């Protein structure tokens, strides 16, 4: 799990690593972390090892912080006068994660209920 991180104290993950695990490329989006979250959740389901579920939930919490509270470290820097962008990809990906994490788990379904509703609201803003 730690080999995907760009540094020991970072939650940001490398998009590309060398054969021995050194980071080569880091994206400025949440998508590497989203796929990592899915992988950790599936690994937990297959092995039953709770450390993988904890890792999935901790990363999900970080993703939500980046998206809803503090995007520091993501995307391009915001420039004065630039129009804000409301991407549909982010809430759609988060909704996939909500579905993944709550599958068969009432506790997780309850934890992410509001997030799922927020994602749907964001997606519906793109309907014409």
Nearest to 1 by CA among 46, 59, 45, 74: 59
Q: Distance between CA atoms of 62 and 82, rounded to whole angstroms? A: 26
User: Dihedral through CA 43, CA 44, CA 48, CA 54, nearest 10?
Assistant: 140
Cβ neighbors of 94 (< 8 A, separation 6 or more) are: 34, 63, 64, 67, 115, 119
User: Which tens digit of pLDDT belongs to each residue from 47-94?
Assistant: 999 999 999 999 999 999 999 998 887 776 677 777 776 789 999 999
* Residue, of 93 and 126, whose pLDDT is higher: 93
Q: Check if the beta carbon of residue 97 is closer than 8 Å to that of residue 49.
A: no
Q: Structure pTM?
A: 0.86
Instruction: Give, for 114, the enclosing helix (H) or strand (E).
Output: helix 113-124
């Amino acid at each position: 799990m730690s080999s995907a991180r760009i540094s020991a104290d970072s939650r940001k993950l490398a998009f590309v690593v060398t054969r021995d695990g050194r980071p080569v490329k880091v994206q400025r989006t949440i998508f590497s972390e989203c796929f990592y979250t899915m992988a950790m959740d599936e690994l937990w389901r297959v092995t039953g090892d709770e450390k993988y579920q904890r890792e999935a939930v901790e990363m999900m919490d970080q993703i939500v912080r980046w998206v809803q509270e503090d995007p520091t470290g993501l995307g391009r820097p915001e420039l004065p006068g630039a129009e804000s962008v409301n991407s549909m990809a982010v809430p759609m990906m988060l909704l996939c994660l909500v579905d993944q994490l709550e599958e068969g788990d009432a506790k997780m379904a309850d934890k992410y209920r509001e997030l799922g509703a927020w994602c749907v609201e964001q997606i519906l803003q793109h309907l014409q």
